[in-house]
């Protein structure tokens, strides 16, 4: 092997150089600037407390109980505020409580706090006991 070939292999096998400190500081500043823009709460126009009886979902057969319960909660929330079901958003706490026992068994009833936002979206939260 010639000296030129050895140098090429050494260059190819060398690890990449670490980024300069100035670049790292610049990226941290950019991330800090973007953070406040992401988290802006919408104003709540109206709020209702609703108790939903999920007996129809609970009595459904096979692996359809929990998906039916989710559809039922969305349907009740959309009727409460006279909107379409596509405008209803479930919070993660509601979703977790419905899916806690798996796909075949679900809660028998659930208490919800339903909010209508300025944008027309209906948000469903779990009511605090």
Q: Round to whole Å and give the CA distance between 84 and 77.
A: 9
Report the largest interatomic distance among the alpha carbons of the chain, rounded to a whole angstrom.
82
Lookup: tokens for 31: 């991330």
pLDDT at 19: 58
pTM of this prediction?
A: 0.67
Give the residues of the chain that fall short of pLDDT 70.
1-2, 4-40, 129
pLDDT for residue 41: 78
Fold of 44-126: Ribosomal Protein L31e; Chain: W; (3.10.440)
- List the domain boundaries for the chain: 3-38, 44-126
In this structure, what are the phi and psi dihedrals at residue 22, rounded to the nearest 5 degrees?
-65, -40
pLDDT at residue number 20: 57
* Alpha-carbon torsion angle 17, 34, 120, 95, nearest 10: 50
Residues paired with residue 109 on neighbouring β-strands, in sequence order: 53
């Amino acid at each position: 092997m010639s000296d030129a070939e050895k140098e090429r292999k050494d260059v190819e096998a060398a690890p990449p150089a670490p980024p300069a400190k100035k670049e790292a500081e610049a990226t941290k500043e950019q991330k800090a600037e973007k953070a406040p823009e992401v988290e802006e709460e919408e104003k709540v126009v109206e709020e209702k407390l609703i108790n939903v009886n999920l007996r129809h979902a609970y009595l459904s057969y096979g692996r359809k109980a929990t998906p039916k319960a989710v559809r039922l909660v969305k349907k009740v929330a959309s009727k409460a505020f006279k909107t379409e079901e596509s405008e209803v958003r479930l919070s993660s706490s509601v979703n977790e409580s419905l899916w806690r026992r798996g796909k075949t068994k679900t809660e028998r009833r659930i208490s919800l706090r339903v909010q209508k936002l300025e944008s027309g979206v209906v948000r469903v939260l779990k009511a605090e006991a």
